[in-house]
Amino acid sequence: MKIKFQFNVSLQKDAEEKKNTVTVNNSSFVDCARKEILNARERGSFSTAANYDTALRSLLTFIKREDIMLNEITTEMLESYQKWLLRRNVSLNTVSCYMRSLRSIYNRATDSKSRVFSRIFTGCTPTYKRSLCVDDIQRLSALKLSKGSRLALARDIFLFSFYCQGMPFVDLAFLRKEQVAGGSIVYNRHKTGQMIRIAVEPCMEQIIQKYSSTNSVYVFPLLESTDMTEAYNEYQKQLSYYNLALKRLGKRAGFSRPLTSYVARHSWASIAFQTNVELQTISRAMGHTNPMTTLIYIKELDNSHLATANHKIITVCSTNTDDDTKGMP
């Protein structure tokens, strides 16, 4: 009787699991995605919500339908979608961003880590060198710009981001005056929630004071609303304006590569590494929970630095070899 009871319980459990699996597989992927987008917005992860929304709209454009079921998300379908994106000249990194967003939604909806995405590219390809050197930073700082112009504001924001250990633009835009006190800037990164504390240097104080006369709760005149949803919409517009202004600034300064909001962060990491700051310290300063993330920023060092290091090693080895061969017949 005991064995029969266990057998019946096992059958009942298998039937329930099978029923649940069918229910999940027949669910609307679009409904699951919109639920995750809403959840992300409610917890203040607006960038994540935007990434989910963009990836979903791209997928729906590909399938030419308004909905798709979870059981239709197959490796073959995703491979076809990936090829479609590449044929439209979408970069591999953008493809990866879409796929990671779709994978996250799919895994949450099925409460599993399926291998459906196992053959899909979700990595990161090397990009062009995005960091400036010390001379470039000084050249940008010395540019003569009209006081109160959009270019002057963009330069101040870029330099402030650089001075603040590569503070991301989203954190800078949402930075409140109350977060600057007692000679320190204390804020939580929007991306990770990690708290960052930065000692205020004179160059940073000078920029802060330049915009302190406004009645806004924010340090910089970028956002107006204190409602998170409205403020995020304002942030997205300001990010677009900021990058356009940086592009013009880069041309004014004579830079060969486009200047973007990410360059300040990459530049701080690269210059810190070149001045012998330890990797772990750089990682902590940038709010990275994993030092491997920091390596993405500093691996773009000029080949000249690698050549110099290699020359030193070869010189040492050659010297030792010469010493060893002295006196040999």
Render pLDDT for 152-201 as a digit per residue (tens, 0 to 9).
999 999 999 999 999 999 999 999 999 999 999 999 998 888 899 999 99
Going from N- to C-terminal start, the domains of the chain cover 2-117, 134-304
Is residue 6 pLDDT above 50, yes or no?
A: no
Angle (CA) 178-183-184 rounded to 5° is 65
Indicate the residue type of 315.
T
List, for residues 125-142, the tens digit of each pLDDT value.
655 557 899 999 999 999
Q: Read off the pLDDT of each residue in 29-37 and give the average, rounded to a whole number.
A: 96
Do 186 and 174 touch, CB atoms closer than 8 A?
A: no
Q: Walk across the sheet containing 195-199 and list its strands.
A: 180-181, 184-188, 195-199
Q: pLDDT band for position 45 (50/70/90)?
A: confident
Classify domain 134-304 by CATH architecture.
Answer: Orthogonal Bundle (1.10)
Structure tokens at 148: 């109160």
Do 116 and 74 touch, CB atoms closer than 8 A?
A: yes
Is residue 5 pLDDT above 90, yes or no?
A: no
Q: Which pLDDT belongs to residue 293?
A: 74
Nearest to 277 by CA among 300, 294, 255: 294
Q: Which pLDDT belongs to residue 290?
A: 76
List, for residues 198-241, the tens digit of each pLDDT value.
999 999 999 999 999 888 999 999 999 999 889 999 999 999 99
Beta-bridged to residue 199, according to DSSP, are: 184
List, for residues 64-101, the tens digit of each pLDDT value.
999 999 999 999 999 999 999 999 999 888 999 999 99
Q: Which pLDDT belongs to residue 170?
A: 94
Q: Which pLDDT belongs to residue 60?
A: 97
Q: pLDDT band for position 307 (50/70/90)?
A: low
Q: Which pLDDT belongs to residue 126?
A: 59
Is residue 24 pLDDT above 50, yes or no?
A: no
**pTM as predicted:** 0.71
Q: pLDDT band for position 280 (50/70/90)?
A: confident
Structure tokens at 281: 């310290």
